[in-house]
Amino acid sequence: MLTVRRERQAMVGQVRESLNDEQLASEVTRTEPGWPQEENFPLKECLGIILNEEWEHRLYAERDLTALEKEN
């Protein structure tokens, strides 16, 4: 699981580093069903959502690891 997570983190980092200002200012259209809206969604906002999710997952992991350490 950790290997897959690290690979995905590296992939997101590579994509983020490769984007220029023009690309960040662009809008995207989603091809799969679900949230967010299907058309004209700011790419920069998509990246913000991904980074926020990563931060929240980290907080949960740190909380859970702290709880496990207290149990042992």
pTM for this predicted structure: 0.63
* Beta carbons within 8 Å of 38's beta carbon, 6+ residues apart: 29, 30
* Beta carbons within 8 Å of 47's beta carbon, 6+ residues apart: 16, 19, 24
Give the pLDDT band of residue 68 (cuts 50, 70, 90).
confident
pLDDT per position as a tens digit, 38-65 = 778 888 888 888 889 888 888 888 888 8
